[in-house]
Structure 1
């Protein structure tokens, strides 16, 4: 995740040039692990509060993230860059988690993942405003195609409208904001420090939300709302194992992503992030008996195609859309 590694430049360059296959394997490990995390969270969503899951997941991930930051040489000296930007980045990533997990409680894994993978579309839109990036015709075409895909899945005008789909869309927008913050931070900070700052933020804010929402049971039958307002409960031994697994998956997955983007060019490995989607479809079917309907398949194809078109176009122009700086879709999962 870090753009600045405490390695010699020749070694780093050699790693980028000579180990693309290894980088792809690390990336595939990450895309295999993170859908399992979604399975665990969806299975816990009927009993736990979303902020409790975020809290314990972050607590258990914190030692692993700190160890990775130390491994990358990010712990000292501190490179926070801009504290307001760090806070906005952490808050938007936290918002991503909350919205994504609340969507998972109500709709299928494939639908949630597909809508969230519209993030590159919103990054493109926001980059024109906040980063003054010039966007050509091909990227605007990709944005239009991707937005059509989102509308096809969300179906805002349908007779039976599922509000949780909007939560998945808010998750994508929140994550796009965090990516813009990452780009604005530039070389003033590094990946290990940004991740460590964010995880500490998650622990603190998750705990605060637990105190705020404690005793505010809404009685809502909607799974997403109930997931937010539910009181904290005492985990059983089996639950503790699942929460510990969430932290482990987060830490190992983050390390795998860091290795992927360290050992290979971003333009090589980024497209393999879309292997996350078939895993989501498979696990959704195996664990919950849910398969995407035709509109979801169409929307998923449009969103995935739009994202790949953006990556492909920028690769042809010699630009790194998803740099090892943290702009990866899965970077903070």
Structure 2
């Protein structure tokens, strides 16, 4: 999920609103790249531990993310804001990746992506409590619609229920917590520094989990559990290239998202983030031979509809407040 990638802290687009087509094209590049990342991770999930993939993804992404932060002027002066909030944000992002990747090891790309795209719904639910934001009936209606969509996909209690779907749902909630933290940080920090802080946190936590689970084999036949408890493996040349590609896609995807929201009003480009989902369906079919079932299509439609309702309502609210600001669902993915 990315992710980040997300309804994060407002990003000013003053001076860039005259380039909507360029912003949309950068956004479409990001939504084209990130599903390829999912393909690579799902392909590696049968051989490597999830924390090993997060670790190496962070290592290879770090130089590019640092370069982007430097280019954006985020490295100096340091703008960390609240360190506890930065840590909570990074930890919830790590939880998002852990849950998302573990779900991806078991269920289809389209199902995993659809469930995690419910993040705006959980952000809306948390906003009154943690951000003192007023949520009207219109957005509560969108929340109810989106939750119905999630239930349609997850199907708790049904014979076809897959527990890994709960991991995707927990990933969406973790992502929502990271977004709340980002909003609380506000202008005390910036996108480049928050991303760099998070990537370093991922490297540290990926390595720590690798040490904690070293030599521990769960012996579980469930792909998600095996993905978590598997010992670290020695990558082949092909694996190194795939891990390097993960880092490159992550860094380039973040840059593309940053450019999209710099060059155009967020209300213009945010709806195009949902083009991520058709790519997930396509790659899931081409690479893994999996197509979503009827329930997934119905749930996906409800979730996307609810997300767009929230985006539309908040863009109106921001417009009335005189703020041409918005942020990305995929940011930091």
For normalisation by structure 1, the TM-score amounts to: 0.95
User: 5+ residue gaps in structure 1?
Assistant: none
Partner of 1:317: 317
Partner of 1:49: 49
Partner of 2:242: 242
Partner of 2:170: 170
Deviation of 1:3 after TM superposition, in Å, equals 7.2
- Is this contact kept in 1: 2:9–2:179, CA < 8 A? no
- Is this contact kept in 2: 1:267–1:311, CA < 8 A? yes
Q: Structure 1 residues 59 and 241 mapped into 2: Cα distance closer, same or farther (>3 Å)?
A: same
Partner of 2:295: 295
User: 5+ residue gaps in structure 2?
Assistant: none
- Is this contact kept in 1: 2:284–2:291, CA < 8 A? yes
- Is this contact kept in 2: 1:270–1:322, CA < 8 A? no
SS at match of 2:256: helix
Partner of 2:92: 92
Higher relative contact order (CA 8 A, sep 6+): 2
- Is this contact kept in 2: 1:69–1:75, CA < 8 A? yes
Partner of 1:15: 16
**Which residues in structure 2 correspond to 1:76-155 (within 5 Å)?**
76-155=76-155
- Is this contact kept in 2: 1:4–1:190, CA < 8 A? no
SS at match of 2:14: helix
The 2-side partners of 1:126 and 1:3 are apart by: 15
Matched, 1:36 2:36: yes
1:262-299 CA-partner distances (Å, limit 9, x unpaired): 00111111110000000000000000000000000000
Matched, 1:213 2:213: yes
The 1-side partners of 2:304 and 2:16 are apart by: 29
Q: Structure 1 residues 75 and 4 mapped into 2: Cα distance closer, same or farther (>3 Å)?
A: farther
Q: Structure 1 residues 323 and 118 mapped into 2: Cα distance closer, same or farther (>3 Å)?
A: farther
Deviation of 1:14 after TM superposition, in Å, equals 2.7
- Is this contact kept in 1: 2:10–2:186, CA < 8 A? no
Deviation of 1:4 after TM superposition, in Å, equals 9.3
**Which residues in structure 2 correspond to 1:234-313 (within 5 Å)?**
234-313=234-313
4+ residue stretches of structure 1 with deviation over 2 A?
Answer: 1-5, 316-324
The 2-side partners of 1:323 and 1:38 are apart by: 29
The 2-side partners of 1:256 and 1:291 are apart by: 28
The 1-side partners of 2:263 and 2:90 are apart by: 26
The 2-side partners of 1:322 and 1:246 are apart by: 33
Deviation of 1:323 after TM superposition, in Å, equals 4.8
1:90-114 CA-partner distances (Å, limit 9, x unpaired): 0000000000000000000000000
Q: Structure 1 residues 311 and 322 mapped into 2: Cα distance closer, same or farther (>3 Å)?
A: farther
SS at match of 2:105: helix
SS at match of 1:78: coil
SS at match of 1:318: helix
Measured on the aligned residues, the alpha-carbon RMSD in Å equals: 1.8
The 2-side partners of 1:217 and 1:135 are apart by: 46
The 2-side partners of 1:177 and 1:134 are apart by: 18
How many pairs are equivalent?
Answer: 325
Deviation of 1:179 after TM superposition, in Å, equals 0.2
